[in-house]
Structure 1
């Protein structure tokens, strides 16, 4: 039988696009049925064209802006966080690691994704080189996981410090570095499985054509990736942060009621560090959760489409829902990318991280004006007054 493309001059010959009827699909020849389904899908794509055009613009041009702005401000954050007085804080060490992983993700994942989508020859270079394609597959996984699991390790460390404040001194800079290095090594080793196992690179939100490699294809591997990259770390972060907030509140009440318990509760410095963590982790949670929800729905709906026969009247409906979920996923992916470019702004605008703000001003050559009251000391014995530290010499 001739190809359906040449059998019909237009879709109106086989389907009424305004009032489609799929109840008689089982009575149509296979080539006619496929042509009818294609017409309905094409008509739907035309109806949602304004939304898809918006999403494509966000992913192509918006991502380019995010990458450029993110790399610049991440570089500034790295310079500030690695200053000598900043390196003494375990919090700043986690933030430094996060800045590095975010910059790598912006470069190796998003910038390459846009380049492959916009430049045919660049994408062809990947398709013609299996080793390069496999290496990119590893990068896509490793740098996303580095960022999220750095936040998870940061959260766990803060939880332990708040839970056991009398052991907080054991979280030295050296141990923090060991924790970060161990997490990164574990993530890199795990991500190397992408050399041998194919994932969902062919369904990139940027729309480039995926590579054809000799890697093993594992059914439902996408569900594992979404669970390991989204739901497991998100639930850990959310749960531990809730416990941290509750413990700090209880300790504040204890501090107010029993002066003797002051040494057993979290210090003011640790509370400030915890506020920095809460800001970073909740930002990740807010930007990642919508994308994770849509990815999960899309994966399960994809199984529904494959389980529905072509002749089933619901087949076209399921295909249209899948198309909508794909573009909604791409829409939320744009906002998810912001997570890799906001660490500088979180550090600047979080009031608890004054050390970052002061160091930043020092780096750009601006003198910091401290408006906090000067510490007071007692005058010599026999006087009930107090005096600023600047008058200590006179008091002596």
Structure 2
């Protein structure tokens, strides 16, 4: 603290930190200007210190809790979803793939990020080994993309089933497995470009020092990552889910007219599967969208900061805004991590996860309740049964 006091005593001779005036920056010698800017940035960092301390605590300790809890419940979800009666559902195959990708992301991305930030020797091991550093760069991209594009493929599959109910039987377990494997293979092949290209690893939210490698540096590639990892999948998920909701409402109106019931499909397994998709999808959108907005603002401000000369009155404002956005991004990133640990709770504690709940109850030694989800046993037209019996 004494050093900080001495520093700011010197700064008071250069700039009024309470009411800084940067209008005459172009008239100052370069060394004085740099000292003046550094003083204002240091003062800003001191003002936001309580917030940055909170964010660091969340990322270091909160992330550890999320990883441990998430891995445990993801393991439970995997055991439940791979039971014999659960494997027959294409929906559960997508959920199993999502559970695996989420667990890998929790381990290889978030936990390693915490370790590298908290353990200097561990991070030094990455910095001294280019191959290890490049491999981690691939992991950071591939596991995030696997999770989001698994949700996208799940959404597209449900959209097609709802759109073309008579062709729902085409989505067999084998074809679903082929779809998931194809998406994963495409994501892995795409992510391998990180072996040769870098762009933003030096600005980790966990605060560890980035690696210096011989990869080609492409700063503008961050724009592509934000679009491909956030806005493109989010737009697809949101748009398709809106169409799914509209189509289900129209189909329910037709079924109501055919069956003469006010609510003939409330116990349908097909509707429950779609509700589960909507729950997973909108959970992702709620947790991801704030982070995507901040990342987009950062990319825009990055261009502004680099375009503005150091003598510009707005230079300090742009720099401090960049720092503020970085910490806000880190704050929302903490909550985004929850997306990789909540799928168990979405299955176990929502009305759309009835089969999951019964299977979990059986594994815990409970006595299963008699299922009421038997729409195929009801004498209904084939056009209705072909859709409601398919999950």
Normalising by structure 2, we get a TM-score of 0.91
1:193-248 CA distance string (max 9 Å, x none): 00000021110000000000010112410000000000000000000000000000
CA gap 1:184/1:8 in 2 versus in 1, 3 angstroms: closer
Structure 2 unaligned regions, length at least 5? 1-5, 378-391
Does 1:89 pair with 2:89?
yes
Which of the pair has the greater relative contact order for Cα pairs under 8 Å at 6+ separation?
Answer: 2
Q: For 1:290-309, what aligned pairs fall within 5 Å after superposition?
A: 290-309=290-309
Retained in 1: the 8 A contact 2:145–2:229? yes
Q: Residue by residue, what CA displacement relative to the aligned partner does 1:265-306 show, whole Å, maximum 9, x if unpaired?
A: 999221111011000011001000000000000111011011
1:152 is matched with 152
Give the 5 Å matches for 1:298-377. 298-370=298-370
Q: Partners in 2 of 1:144 and 1:287 — Cα distance?
A: 14
Is the 8 Å Cα contact of residues 93 and 177 (structure 1) preserved in structure 2?
yes
Answer yes or no: is the 8 Å Cα contact 1:163–1:247 preserved in 2: yes
The answer as to 2:13 corresponding to 1:16 is: no
* Rounded Cα–Cα distance in structure 2 between residues aligned with 1:103 and 1:199: 26
In the alignment, the residues of structure 2 paired with residue 272 and residue 56 of structure 1 have an alpha-carbon distance, to the nearest angstrom, of 40
**Cα deviation, residue 91, structure 1:** 0.4
Q: 1:251–1:266: 8 Å Cα contact kept in structure 2?
A: no
Task: Tell me how far 1:326 sits from its aligned partner.
Answer: 0.5
Partner of 1:42: 42
Gaps of 5+ in 1: 1-5, 378-396
Q: Would you say the 8 A contact 2:200–2:219 is kept in 1?
A: no
User: 2:155·2:241 contact (CA, 8 Å) conserved in 1?
Assistant: yes
Q: Which moved more, 1:175-184 or 1:366-375?
A: 366-375
Partner of 1:278: 278
Aligned to 2:382: none
Partner of 1:10, secondary structure, is helix
- Displacement of 1:343 in angstroms is 0.6
**CA RMSD, Structure 1 to Structure 2 (Å):** 2.2
| Aligned position for 1:138 | 138
Rounded to whole Å, the distance in 1 between the matches of 2:271 and 2:334 is 33
Q: How does 1:180-329 map to 2 (within 5 A)?
A: 180-259=180-259, 268-329=268-329
Q: CA deviation at 1:369?
A: 3.7
Displacement of 1:8? 9.6
Whole-Å Cα distance in 1 between the matches of residues 8 and 341 of structure 2? 51
- Runs of 4+ in structure 1 off by over 4 angstroms are 6-9, 370-375
C-alpha displacement at 1:373, in angstroms?
A: 11
Distance 1:143 1:8 in 2: 45
Query: 1:113 is matched with which residue?
Result: 113
Number of aligned residue pairs:
368
Q: Alpha-carbon deviation of 1:349?
A: 1.2
Query: Deviation of residue 66 (structure 1)?
Result: 0.1
Cα distance change on mapping 1:81 and 1:342 into 2, 3 Å: same
Q: Is the CA contact (8 Å cut-off) linking 2:26 and 2:312 kept in structure 1? A: yes
For the Cα contact (< 8 Å) 2:199–2:220, is it kept in 1? no
User: How far apart are 1:256 and its partner, in Å?
Assistant: 1.6
Match in the other structure for 2:384: none
Aligned residue in 1 for 2:386: none
1:58 matched to 2:58? The reply is yes
Tell me the SS of whatever aligns to 2:351. Answer: coil
Larger radius of gyration: 1
CA distance in 2, matches of 1:240, 1:374: 28
Preserved CA contact (<8 Å) 2:267 2:373? no
Name the counterpart of 1:73.
73
Q: 1:274 to 1:36 in 2, by over 3 A?
A: same
Go from structure 1 to structure 2 and tell me whether the alpha carbon gap of 1:29 and 1:7 turns closer, same or farther (over 3 Å shift).
Answer: farther
Separation in 1, partners of 2:107, 2:142: 13
